[in-house]
Amino acid sequence: MGISMKVPKEILLESHLPGLGEPTRGKVRDIYDLGDAFLFVATDRISAFDVVLPEGIPGKGYVLTQFSLYWFDWFSKKEDSIQNHVLTAAFDRFPVKCKPYREVLEGRSMLVRKAEPLPVECIVRGYLSGSGWKEYQKTGTVCGERLPAGLLESARLPEPIFTPSTKAPMGTHDINISFEEMKLKVGAALAEEVRAASLNIYKKAAARAEECGIIIADTKMEFGLDPQTKRPILIDELLTPDSSRFWPIDAYAPGKGQPSFDKQYVRDYLLSIRWNGTPPPPHLPAPVVEQTSRKYFEALERLTK
């Protein structure tokens, strides 16, 4: 499952692969049902505040795919790690009906096994940032969990915390929920298992990323139930700049927002022009698009060098 050097040349906002049928389109991925498996195609779309923006980010789908493949492969070699949904990302092993679409698919797609997604997002926070920082300022808590007083913005938490949220339809916002609410949604035993797996994944990934000069401030994971075993497996993407906050260690300074390798750069631009987060979204200037692409690629290069 190694890193592909096939970087797509063209920006892909939507894939159109007639021989594979109509895809289900998410914020970033186009998902094709191939019968016994799904084909995940990571486009170059970018969303902010749960709204897809008009411009694509050059190479973004490639970077997201390679990040996920790196981490899925890395964790598959750990004895205590949970399984994931990847079957292959090697284009030559894709079904024959995919062959006409090499230029679109190679480097930005993967064949995955089907699973029943859990109706929650599994978020682990190791640092105080984003919506967690906003809540902490008001209540001293993050998703209802009491934290020590006096923490600064971007401070490292004493221990990573698990803060699930709902999985909202595209165009609407996820809502943070308590762990007790998650238990009601998926069952207590499964909730406990997924929480433990999420914390384990975050801690190990954070330690690995620090070796590469990257702080993983927080991350969002998704799990699904394997239809055959009924056991949870990792699905969707894993530890990418879209699903995580990545900060450069050499610039880290608590007490303020941090420079990042993720789409926070786009969020900051949109906040600077006072966009209220409702459609239609504004256009991104070319310098913002180019700098965002550079940040994504730099994070991948740091992790995989």
* Structural domain total, the chain: 2
pLDDT > 60? residue 5: no
| pLDDT value at residue 4 | 58
Distance (Å, whole) CA 289 – CA 40: 24
In terms of Cα–Cα distance, which of 251, 270, 239, 260 is closest to 63? 239
pTM of the shown model = 0.94
105 with 121, same domain: the answer is no
Answer yes or no: is 288 within a domain.
no
Whether residues 94 and 217 fall in one domain: no
CATH of the domain at 101: 3.30.200.20
pLDDT for 199-229, tens place per residue? 999 999 999 999 999 999 999 999 999 999 9
Q: 157 and 237, same structural domain?
A: yes
Q: Which two tokens stand for residue 49?
A: 């505040």
Residue 210 within a domain: yes
Rounded to an integer, what distance in angstroms lies between the CA atom of residue 146 and that of residue 168?
A: 25
148, 140 contact by CB (below 8 A): no
Contact 103, 89 (CB under 8 A): no
Task: Indicate whether 132 and 248 sit together in one domain.
Answer: yes
Q: Is the pLDDT of residue 295 over 50?
A: yes
Residue 13 lies in a domain: no
Q: Are residues 146 and 241 in the same domain?
A: yes
Q: Give a yes or no: residue 5 inside a domain.
A: no
Mean predicted confidence (pLDDT) in 149-165: 97
The enclosing domain of 163 has a CATH number of 3.30.470.20
- Which of 5-9, 87-91, 249-253, 272-276 comes out lowest in average pLDDT? 5-9
| Residue 6 clears pLDDT 90, i.e. is over it | no
Domain interval for residue 88: 18-114
Q: With 90 as the cut, is the pLDDT of residue 9 above it?
A: no
